[in-house]
Amino acid sequence: MMGWQVTSTISGGQPYAVADREEYASLARLLDDVAADWRAASAAWSAAALELAQHQASLTWCSSATPDEGTTVSHSSLPYGALIQRCSDLSVDCATIGEELDTLSALLVRAHSLYEDNEAWVRRLVTMTVTAAAIVAPQYTALGTYAVAKAGILTGSAAEGKDNRIYGLTSTQWAQEGLVRGASVWVNGLRRASLPLLNTDQGYGVDDAAGFLAAVTKPIQDAKQGDVLTVSEVMAEAVVVKESHSVAESLENLRRLAEERLGTIDLGSKLIYGTVAVQRYRHADGSSAWLITIPGTDGEHDSPFDWLQNLEIMSDDPVQRMTGDSARMVAEAMRQAGIGADEPVALIGHSQGGIVAATIAADLADQYNIQHVMTAGSPVANHPIPSTTWVTSIEMDDELVAALDGAPNPSTDNWLTIRGHATRTDVTSQGEVSSDGSCLPGNGFSSWSRGFAAEEVKGASEDKEITHWLKYHQAAYKNASDLGSHAVNAHEEHFRRIIDGTLEETRYYQGTMSHTPLPSTVMAPDSDRIDMQRFDE
């Protein structure tokens, strides 16, 4: 049975000391050199086998010879057949050792992000080239993109044996940021009634364009959903978001909440769409810390996490961002939960939930002590998150959604990005979601047997599917954390420190959009926590 695995690369985060980095690089070069020695030895043994075969052939003449009469001539030979076979075997053995050393060198390089700068440079160059093409010749760029996508679909579908258009995302993943950026320049050009010029500010105009489009779509959205946001605390009849003491556990809780509220899994909680979780942790010194778990777009007709809200919270305008229904819903949930201004807060979100987390961190920095933001599959590169807030972003290279910011994430000490790449693999662990709803990626044996080159995606479809699902981000994080990267470890440790201690309470808040204020239909344990408001009043 076939499944999928994810290989991660790491960029940004706490840098290594120069001496340490040089030591890793030096060892990687040494491994490459020794691997080259073994490959050369392999080639030499292979050539030796051929030469010995030539020697053997030439000796055929000799062994068949009849010495001249009266002349005593001695002959000598070797067991050429055995020799040639042994030389061939040695060639294979040497090649195997060379390959193994190459693999180990690649593992060392990836674990310590030794090629990070080069990879970033190439990616930047490609993005700039595509952007320029999209500005100068949009028709040809669109045509080329269509052709590349179509070729990817045809090739992938042929390999899979059935039509699968997701391969179009994979084949164009290298161009997605540049295309988004190019399209944004055109949108901004229309907005300003001027020729499109490349905007070289931080957002390359993508956030500008998102704000412009949101201003257009907001009235439509309000007409459809209404602009009254009701945020109510709701009771869960089963545990969905459990106690967490690590990023991996928090990601798993995020997936549980996301899938439970959509009905993909049934934990019996009765939670529905538009729900977020707020947890209070009590540190050993008695102080409180908070973890906010925010799932992504649910697309429901009266949910603050509908599709068009994504545009608002990607805007370059902080007022527009915070009037986004999903952002103000989470802000209201945080207010109702009673989070203190100085109490450490960590936010974890998937897709739109990650954008909301970045928005809260950027725009409510004066109200809360936002210490860490975890995003999975969220385009947040353009959000002005304070440098004191740690950001850990997980993105899949062909999920498209994470590329909608049109830019790579900032690569700073406090901003770490884990980028996953999915490939097909044999399945070695069970893919089903277990009875407690857990769906942690792979397992220890699976990871070790793969040499940590990739992490199996548990529960992945046999066919190619969109990698925006959280299980792919979970696998990406697992692979990255297995690498023992200093940067990943530092972010993991920072996240853990915030939620250190014991879980004191978990509250769930549901947001509902309407045209007029709703009577509360959801019972909460404390009616004071039920709130209805128009955020912009």
Partner 1 sequence: MWITPTIRPHTPFRLDTAAASRFNGRMNSIFASSSAFGVASPFGGSSVFGTDGTCSCHGIVDASRNLVSARVSQTRLASEAILAPRSRGDAIPWEGNAASLFRQRLNQCAVDARLVEHNAQTVLSLCWGA
Shortest Å distance, C-beta 113 to partner 1: 13
Shortest Å distance, C-beta 73 to partner 1: 5
Residue 132 has φ and ψ, to the nearest 5°, of: -60, -40
Query: Cα(66)–Cα(7) distance, rounded to whole angstroms?
Result: 66
Tell how far CA 46 is from the center of its chain.
Answer: 43
Nearer to partner 1, 75 or 162 (CB): 75
Opening angle at CA 100, ends 476 and 48, nearest 5: 150
Nearer to partner 1, 63 or 139 (CB): 63
Edge-to-edge, what's the strand order for the sheet holding 369-376? 455-456, 2-12, 415-426, 390-396, 369-376, 344-350, 288-294, 275-282, 502-514, 228-234, 531-533
Beta-carbon contacts of 404 under 8 Å, excluding residues fewer than 6 positions away, are: 180, 206, 314, 379
493 touches partner 1 (CB under 8 A): no
440 touches partner 1 (CB under 8 A): no
Residue given tokens 């890793």 in the structure block: 24
Nearer to partner 1, 39 or 282 (CB): 39
100 touches partner 1 (CB under 8 A): yes
248 touches partner 1 (CB under 8 A): no
Query: Cα(250)–Cα(352) distance, rounded to whole angstroms?
Result: 17
31 touches partner 1 (CB under 8 A): yes
Shortest Å distance, C-beta 246 to partner 1: 14
129 touches partner 1 (CB under 8 A): no
Q: Helix, strand, coil % (nearest 5) of the chain?
A: 50, 15, 35
Tokens of 153: 């679909």
Q: Which of 79, 386, 517, 525 binds partner 1 (CB under 8 A)?
A: 79
Beta-carbon contacts of 122 under 8 Å, excluding residues fewer than 6 positions away, are: none
The 447-486 site mask, x for binding partner 1 (CB under 8 A), equals xx--xx----------------------------xxxx--
Instruction: Compute the radius of gyration of the chain from its Cα atoms.
Output: 29
# of chain residues touching partner 1 (CB under 8 A): 70
Query: Cα(187)–Cα(104) distance, rounded to whole angstroms?
Result: 47
Q: Which of 40, 137, 147, 158 binds partner 1 (CB under 8 A)?
A: 40
Q: Which of 48, 151, 272, 522 binds partner 1 (CB under 8 A)?
A: 48
18 touches partner 1 (CB under 8 A): no
69 touches partner 1 (CB under 8 A): no
Contact 418, 480 (CB under 8 A): yes
83 touches partner 1 (CB under 8 A): yes
Q: If residue 361 lies in a helix (H) or strand (E), which one and from where to where?
A: helix 352-363
Nearer to partner 1, 111 or 391 (CB): 111
Nearer to partner 1, 358 or 488 (CB): 488
Q: Given the rule CB under 8 A, which residues bind partner 1?
A: 20, 23-24, 26-27, 30-31, 33-34, 37-38, 40-41, 44-45, 47-48, 50-52, 54-55, 58-59, 61-68, 71-80, 82-83, 86-87, 89-90, 93-94, 96-97, 100-101, 103-104, 107-108, 111-112, 444, 447-448, 451-452, 481-484, 489
